[in-house]
Structure 1
Amino acid sequence: MNKHAVFVVALSVAGAASAQEVIKIAHVGAITGPVSYFGKDTENGARLAIEALNARTVAIGGKKVRFELVPEDDAGEPRQATTVAQKLVDAKVNGVVGHQTSGTTIPASRIYHTAGIPQISHSSTSPKYTQQGFNTTFRVVANDTQLGSALGRYAVKGMNARRVAVIDDRTAYGQGLATEFGKALLAQGGSVVAREFTTDKSTDFNAILTKIKAAKPDLVFFGGMNAVAGPMLRQMKQLGMNTRMMGGDGICSDEIAKLSGGAMADDQVVCAEAGGVEPSGKAGMDAFRAAYKKRFGIDVQINAPYAYDAVMVLADAMVRAGSSAPAQYLPQVAKSRYKGVTGPVAFDKFGDIRDGTLTLYTFKGGHRTLLAVTK
C-alpha cells in the first residue's frame, strides 16, 4: 500500500470516529453546599452508568454511540437550578438526571418541559413535581405521599408513638413530607402536639425545642436534611431531651451521626428511604455497591443506585426508539419496563414509579441499620 492509500485509509477511519454520535446526559445535584455529599453520591452513580454503557458499546438506530456525562451543580438552590437548566437546554443535552431536591427539581422541570427534554429525578419526592401536567417529568423513587404514609403508620404501630411534635425546614421537600406524615399520623390515631418550623440553613433550635419539650412528645418528626437534623439532635441532648426522631431520606445516611457530634443514641433515629430493594434484588444491589466502592473508594450514601438506573432508563428508551432525539425517545421513557439495580422501573401516567418500595432504617453505632422494606 502506498503512502497516499495509507493517508486515505487514515482519513476514512478518522472520519468514522468523528461521525460517532455523542449522547449527552446531564446530572444535576447539589455538588456544593450543606448537602453536597448527596449530590456527589448521585453524580458518581450517574458516572458509573455512563462508563458501563460505553464499555458495552451501545448502538442506537443501527449506529454505535458514545455517552457523555454533563455534570452540573445547583448547590440545592432553586434560582441556581433554573440557571443550570437553561444552560443544559442551550447545550442541547439529550436527557437530564436530577435535580436532587424537590425545591430545585420543580422549578427546573418547567424549563426542561418547554424544551421537550426528558427529566428523571433520582431523589425528589414532592408529589407536586409530577402533578404539573408535564410529560417530561419522571422519578425512580417513591413520593412523599407514599413515604409520609409509611412513616406515619410505623410511628404509631412500630414505635408506639401517639404524641408527636412535627418540625419542617420550609423547603418543598421538608414541608411536603411533614404534611403527608401528619395526615398519616392522624389517620392512625396519633396526634400532633406541637408544630414548629425552621429553615434549611438554621443552626440554633433552642427556642422551638424548648416549646416542644414542654409538650412532652413521644417522638419528634423532622422534615428536612442531615445538615439541620444533626445539630438539632445535639441541642436536644443539651436540653435533656432523649426523645426519638423520625424523618425521611434527607436524614437517612451516616452523615447524621457525624453532624450530631456524637449526640445521637443508638435506635434514637428512625428514617425512611424512598426506595430500597426487596430480598430478590439484594445480590444485584450488593454488586452495585461493591463496584461503586471499587471505582470511587467510598461507600454509597443513599441515591447513587437510583441515579445509575435513571441513566440506564434513558439509554434503554433511546435504544427502543432507535433515536436519541428527545422528541423521538420521550414516549418510550413513559413506556419503560426496565429491570434496574433498584428493582423494576415502570412509570404511571404521572411519571411516578409504579409499586415503589420504601426502606425503614435506624442507626446503631453511628451506622444505618435496616429495619424493613415495605410498599
Structure 2
Amino acid sequence: MVILTSVLTTGALTLTACGSRDNGNKSGGSSSGTTLTIGVDAPLSGENSTTGLGIQYGVQIAVDDANKNNWVPGVKFKVKALDDKAQPATGQSNATALVGDASVVGAVGPLNSGVAQSMQQVFNSANMVEISPSNTNPTLTQGKDWQTSKSRPYKTYFRTATTDALQGSFAADYAWNGLKKKKAFIVDDKQTYGAGLAGIFNGAFKKLGGTVAGTDHVNTGDTDFGSLVTKIKASGADMVYYGGQYDESEKITKQLKGAKVNIPLMGGDGMYATTYIQTAGKAAEGDLATSVGVPADTLPAAKSFIDTYKSKGYKGDYGAYGAYSYDAATAIIKAVKAVKDANGGKLPASDQLRSKVVDAVQKSSFDGITGKVSFDQYGDTTNKQLTVYQVKGGKWVAVKTGTFNG
C-alpha cells in the first residue's frame, strides 16, 4: 500500500458516466461523440481516505487533461469513483458495478492489496484492465509462490507501484546501513499488505546481520497500544518496523514516545501520509517511511500536476500515489487511442474494446509524470525506484532515493 510529498485533504467528488455513446451508437463504427468512463476504486471515506482521495483526484486530473488536449479525438472520458472503505468485500462489489457499466473501459485502484485480491477475478472475467497505483504485495502479479516460482495470476491486472519484495528489502538496508540500527521490533496489522511487508523486512534485516527483538500484531481500528509499547520497551529494540497503514502507526508512535521509548518507528508507503504527522505531532519526529518512486516535487514533469491539484483545492494527499494514479489513468487513455488507431480510426465493438485495451496497456511505453511507464511480463512496473522519507521539522523529507538490487 501502497504508494512523493504533499499536504492536502478530503471530500469526495464523484463523477459518474452518462452512458457509453452520446450519439446512441452502441457497437463499433464512428467514435464521434463517444463517452468512455474510467473507474476508480479506493477508500474515499474513513480509514486510509487521505491517500485514497489522492488516487481519485490523480485520475481526475489525467481525465481532464485528456479531454482538454484531445488526446483521443472523438472520445471524451469521465470518472466513476467508488468508495471501498478499505474493505475487500466492498471492493469486490465495486468491481462488479464497474464491469456492469458498459461505458467503463478500465479501472484505477484499489489502494489496498487485500482489497485487490477480492477484485482481480471480477475484472479478469470481464477482460477489463485494472491498474493499481499503490498495491505492493508481490503475489498480486507474481503468484503465491513468487519467491520460488513466479506465475502471473491475471493478465488484466497491472500496477505503477513497485513491489514489497523491493520495498521491504530497501527499508531493511537503510535501517541497517543508513540508520545503523541493530535490533528491530517488528509489528504488523495482519492485513495482506502489512503482514507481507513486515515479513520481507524481517527476513532482509536478519540477513544483513540485524536482530529481531520481538514481533507482534495489531488489529486495524485499534487505538490503545499500551501492551505493545510495554513489549517494545522491554525488548531493548533500537527501532520499530511497522507493516500497515498510518491510521494505527501514528497512534503507536505517539504512545511509544509518550512512554519515553524514544526510538524511531519505520514503515512502508502505507504510512507515508501527511495525516501521520498531523496526528502524531512531535512524536513523529525522526520516524521514517519508504514509498514508491521519487518525490513528485523533484520531477519536472509532475510540476503541472501538483500545481493543478493545489489550485483545484482537491482534498486528500497527492504525495504518495496521486502522480502514479495520473500515469495509470494515462496508460488506459493511451491504450484506447492505440486501439482506435489500429482499427482505422474507429473504436471496435464494445464487446471487443475492453480486451483490446488490456493488450494495448501491456505494450505501454511512454514518458509519464513519474518517469517511464511500461510493464513487464507480470504486469509490474519497470520503474523500480524507491525513496526513504524521514520526518524532519514536521515534514516528510526525502533522505535516500534509489533501487534495491539485493
For the criterion TM > 0.5, the same-fold answer is: yes
Contact 1:26 1:88 in 2 (8 A): yes
Indicate the residue corresponding to 1:32 in structure 2.
45
Q: Map of 1:220-235 to 2, 5 A cutoff?
A: 220-235=240-255
For residues 276-319 of structure 1, what are the alpha-carbon distances to aligned partners after superposition, in whole Å with 9 as ceiling and x for unaligned?
A: 2599x621123321121112256633211111100001111121
* 2:101 paired with 1:82: no
Q: Map of 1:1-375 to 2, 5 A cutoff?
A: 20-59=33-72, 64-92=74-102, 93-132=104-143, 133-260=153-280, 262-267=281-286, 269-276=287-294, 282-296=299-313, 300-322=318-340, 323=347, 325-375=353-403
Distance 1:278 1:368 in 2: 13
Distance 1:245 1:187, change over 3 A: same
- Matched position secondary structure for 1:301: helix
Shift of 1:26: 0.3
- CA RMSD in angstroms comes to 2.0
Distance 1:216 1:337 in 2: 49
Shift of 1:119: 0.4
Distance 1:319 1:18, change over 3 A: closer
Distance 2:84 2:251 in 1: 24
Q: Greater helix percent: which structure?
A: 1
Higher-RCO chain (CA-CA 8 Å, sequence separation at least 6) = 2
Distance 1:265 1:130, change over 3 A: closer
Whichever residue aligns with residue 187 of structure 2, its letter is I
Shift of 1:266: 2.7
Distance 2:257 2:388 in 1: 24
Distance 1:205 1:15 in 2: 58
Distance 1:278 1:312 in 2: 17
Of stretches 349-358 and 286-295 in structure 1, the one that deviates more from structure 2 is: 286-295
Whichever residue aligns with residue 129 of structure 1, its letter is L
Contact 1:165 1:195 in 2 (8 A): yes
Whichever residue aligns with residue 51 of structure 1, its letter is D
Contact 2:295 2:398 in 1 (8 A): no
Distance 2:71 2:396 in 1: 37
Distance 2:249 2:194 in 1: 11
Whichever residue aligns with residue 296 of structure 1, its letter is G
For residues 313-343 of structure 1, what are the alpha-carbon distances to aligned partners after superposition, in whole Å with 9 as ceiling and x for unaligned?
A: 1111121122471111211111111210011
For residues 42-99 of structure 1, what are the alpha-carbon distances to aligned partners after superposition, in whole Å with 9 as ceiling and x for unaligned?
A: 101100011000001233xxx5101011111100001111111111111131101001
Shift of 1:256: 0.8
Whichever residue aligns with residue 212 of structure 2, its letter is V
Mark the structure with the bigger radius of gyration: 1
Distance 1:236 1:51 in 2: 44
Contact 1:360 1:373 in 2 (8 A): yes
For residues 227-258 of structure 1, what are the alpha-carbon distances to aligned partners after superposition, in whole Å with 9 as ceiling and x for unaligned?
A: 10111111102221101111001111221112
Of stretches 115-124 and 348-357 in structure 1, the one that deviates more from structure 2 is: 348-357
Distance 1:306 1:355, change over 3 A: closer
Distance 1:187 1:104 in 2: 31
Aligned length: 357
Distance 1:135 1:308 in 2: 21
Distance 2:257 2:23 in 1: 66
Question: Where do 5+ consecutive residues of structure 2 fail to align?
Answer: 1-21, 144-152, 341-346
Distance 1:114 1:297, change over 3 A: closer
Whichever residue aligns with residue 120 of structure 1, its letter is I
Distance 2:295 2:44 in 1: 26
Whichever residue aligns with residue 112 of structure 2, its letter is T
- Matched position secondary structure for 1:221: strand
Shift of 1:108: 0.6
Distance 2:378 2:156 in 1: 10
Contact 2:172 2:204 in 1 (8 A): yes
- Matched position secondary structure for 1:94: strand
Question: Where do 5+ consecutive residues of structure 1 fail to align?
Answer: 1-12
Whichever residue aligns with residue 267 of structure 2, its letter is G
- Matched position secondary structure for 2:399: strand
Contact 1:136 1:330 in 2 (8 A): yes
Contact 2:42 2:111 in 1 (8 A): yes
Distance 2:111 2:296 in 1: 24
Distance 1:104 1:346 in 2: 24
Shift of 1:33: 1.2
Distance 1:289 1:331, change over 3 A: same
Whichever residue aligns with residue 352 of structure 1, its letter is D
Whichever residue aligns with residue 227 of structure 1, its letter is D
